[in-house]
Amino acid sequence: MKNDLNRFDRLIGILLVLQSGPVVRAADLASRFGVSIRTIYRDLRSLEAAGVPLAAEAGDGYRLVQGYQLPPVMFSPSESVALMTAIRLSEGLTDDSQKASLDTARHKILSILPHHLKESVNRLHQSVLVYEPLGSVSTIQQPRMDAIQQAILSQLILAIDYQSGGGKTVTHRQIEPYGLFYFSNRWHLIAWCRLRRDFRDFRLDRIRSLSITEETFRKDPAFHLHSFLDSQSEPSGTATFTFRTDIQTATVIRNQFWMGISDWEESDGLVTITYTSQQLDWMARWILQFGNRVRILGPESAKELVREELIRLTDHYR
């Protein structure tokens, strides 16, 4: 009986995999479900015998015949709760352009749940909240997530006006959008910048205006968002300095300025960090924001730059 149940679960799983992708290889199915390729072939024949229309692509694998769809599936209580929690979380992390779609999806899920489960899920939805303090990033972002995602999917050039980190300059850019990621309470867009001729990280809250053009671009097939972000976390600057700080300040630095950290050592409640930057003079201004919570250990040239910056700051307020 147990083997029959395992096979039934596997058949349903294979059907779901086939519906979610264009072509699936038997070897990939065998690896996914932990069985032999011969067993997968038997399972596929069983699905065909049950009326599931399968098409074999020579040298590629199997797919469902175009137009075939599974009937609506029923969610388990734990799946329903997980989906509702994910929707509530997403509502707090996106902008108004997507909140209506999330609400529609929530009602569609509720519509297929039995009455007793629907009541429980509704109560949970009212008991989970992503709190947005006044002035938080999510409340000041303009609705543009839908437009950016549309441009990514359709490979369309975006025209943006982008504000610099210091807030003093706004430049007009044409960018090729590759991917979005959420980090440190902010959404970021990775795109090829035609002005800078390189990939750039654009914070959505610094985009002052945005429009989708009709011009298309060809995405580099070798680009993978996760691999790109991993590569950016590897220090590539030319100036390296070491400083010591408390664990709370170190955590802030790691959360917001992680791309420059090349070494991290904790001892007796303090953290020694080795940081790599493109320019030491930028580092001097950056490090001063942490006041006496940070002490530079070396090199001596880094200490001297901080002293000089302090003198300029003191003269400014005389």
Separation of alpha carbons 204 and 209, rounded Å: 10
Per-residue pLDDT tens over the stretch 175-229: 999 999 887 677 899 999 999 899 998 988 889 999 999 999 999 989 999 888 8
Q: What is the pLDDT of residue 37?
A: 92
Please state which of the four CATH numbers 3.30.450, 2.60.40, 3.10.150, 2.30.30 is assigned to the domain occupying 142-230: 2.30.30
Q: Which pLDDT score, from 0 to 100, does residue 132 have?
A: 62
Of residues 172 and 255, the one with the higher pLDDT is 172
Could you tell me which residue, 14 or 260, shows the higher pLDDT?
Answer: 14
Give the tens place of pLDDT for each residue, 222-248.
999 988 887 766 555 567 889 999 999
Residue 73: enclosing H or E segment and its boundaries?
A: none
Query: 260-299, pLDDT tens digit by residue?
Result: 787 889 988 899 998 887 666 777 888 888 989 999 998 8
The string of DSSP letters for 231-254 reads: HHTS---SEEEEEEEEHHHHHHHH
Q: Are 143 and 97 in contact (CB under 8 A)?
A: yes
169: pLDDT strictly greater than 50:
yes
Res. 52: pLDDT tops 50: yes
- Residues 6 or more apart whose CB falls under 8 angstroms from that of 198 comprise 192
Q: What is residue 109's predicted lDDT score, i.e. its pLDDT?
A: 79
Reply yes or no: is the peptide bond before residue 72 cis, omega within 30 of 0: no
Half-sphere exposure of 106 (CA within 13 A, CB side): 21
- Mean residue pLDDT of the chain comes to 82
- Tell me what the mean pLDDT of segment 241-260 comes to: 84
CB 202 within 8 A of CB 147: no
Beta carbons within 8 Å of 240's beta carbon, 6+ residues apart: 262, 274, 275, 276, 277
Tokens for 27?
């070897």
Spatial distance between the Cα atoms of 62 and 25, rounded to a whole number of angstroms = 6
Residue 166: count other Cβ atoms within 10 Å of its Cβ.
6
pTM: predicted TM-score of the whole model, two decimal places: 0.56
Q: What is the CATH number of domain 239-316?
A: 3.30.70
Helix (H) or strand (E) holding 57: strand 54-57
Note the pLDDT tens digit of each residue in 26-39: 999 999 999 999 99
58 vs 308, higher pLDDT: 308
pLDDT at 15 over 80: yes
Domain extents for the chain? 2-64, 77-127, 142-230, 239-316
- Does the 2-64 domain belong in CATH 1.10.10.10? yes
